[in-house]
Structure 1
Amino acid sequence: MSMHADFFWKWLEMVEPASTRIKECLEAHILLLNVLIQNPTEMENKSDMEVLVSLVEDMMQLRGAMST
C-alpha cells in the first residue's frame, strides 16, 4: 500500500472515536438545555428563550447528521 493509503486509514480510525465523543457531548448538552427550556421561569428575556430553543434544534440536527 502507498504511504497515502496508510495515512488515510490511520486518519479514518481517528475520526470515528472523535465523532463519537462529539456526539456524546452534544447529547449531554441537549439534555441540559431541554431541562432549562422546561423551566422557563429561569429565563428573564423571551428572546433568550427563542435563541435557546434554536440552539437546541441546531444541536439536534447536528447530532442527527452524525448518526447517518
Structure 2
Amino acid sequence: MTVQMKPRGKEKNVEASMSELKSEVEDLRQLVHTLLTIIMEEADGIQSGAAPTIPNQPKRRFSM
C-alpha cells in the first residue's frame, strides 16, 4: 500500500493565490460602489452644494 502525498509548496501557492484574489475582489467591490455613488449624484453638483451657482442663471431643473 503506497501513500501519495501532495507537495506542500503547491498548496501554499494556491492558498496565497486565493487570498490575493479575494483581496482584489474586495477592492473592486469598493471601487464599483464608489463609482456608482458618483454616478448617482447630481451631474452639476448643485444638489450637494459642491458646485458654485452662476449668477443670473435661470432656475430650471436641468443638468449640463
TM superposition score normalised by structure 1:
0.47
Structure number with greater CO (CA < 8 Å, separation at least 6) is 1
Which has the larger Rg? 2
